Chain A
Amino acid sequence: KQEVTQIPAALSVPEGENLVLNCSFTDSAIYNLQWFRQDPGKGLTSLLLIQSSQREQTSGRLNASLDKSSGRSTLYIAASQPGDSATYLCAVLSGTYKYIFGTGTRLKVLA
């Protein structure tokens, strides 16, 4: 059974710092992995999608990497801003063809 874990659960950093969010999954047989952002009380916004054949994806200040063999993905946020404050969720699409979500990392960027 696929399980997805995110570390840390919460993170508080000063504005301008580069930071890394981690996502690990137990079954490496995945179709893809997505990183989402969720603002308090809101729905999800897709940030980056990495197919199983890819190693990384970039969008602006965000870079996501995927190491399928070790069951890990990282989301790198460069030059963090207060507007980046949100919960970040990773989700994997695996054998059952359903997305399994991680527990999320609550990020707060201090001005």
Chain B
Amino acid sequence: SAVISQKPSRDICQRGTSLTIQCQVDSQVTMMFWYRQQPGQSLTLIATANQGSEATYESGFVIDKFPISRPNLTFSTLTVSNMSPEDSSIYLCSVEETNNSWEETQYFGPGTRLLVL
């Protein structure tokens, strides 16, 4: 199974600043996903990041606010731009793996806990 690490694990930021979150996978994967989990809520998909193409954003999320990079098959970054207290959430990176039986499993990173003051 894929092992995923995220940096930073947590941060406290000032309103109006930006934070870039890194996601590193120990194997090459085609699809990487970024999720947000607001306090007391379930997970919401922000965007899908495929290597070599622009990220695909879900409804309610835009590239200017959440720019994503995917320079290779093991790494991605998510930037939370011009932050406000409403951006305080856990941000999770995820990858999908397909086994020899064509069964997909999704693995998640440990998350980045962001508090915006």
Contact = CB atoms under 8 A, between A and B. Distances in A.
A89 B105 CA distance: 15
Contacts, number: 49
A101 B38 CA distance: 13
A41 interface: yes
B103 A89 contact: no
A23 B104 CA distance: 20
Interface residues of A, number: 21
A56 B108 CA distance: 23
A31 B105 CA distance: 11
Interface stretch (A44-52, A62-70, A74-82): A44-52
B106 A31 contact: no
A98 B105 CA distance: 12
A60 interface: no
* Chain B interface mostly: strand
B92 interface: yes
Contacts of A103: 41-42
B79 to A, nearest CB: 19
Interface string B31-61: 0010000000111110010000000001000
B67 interface: no
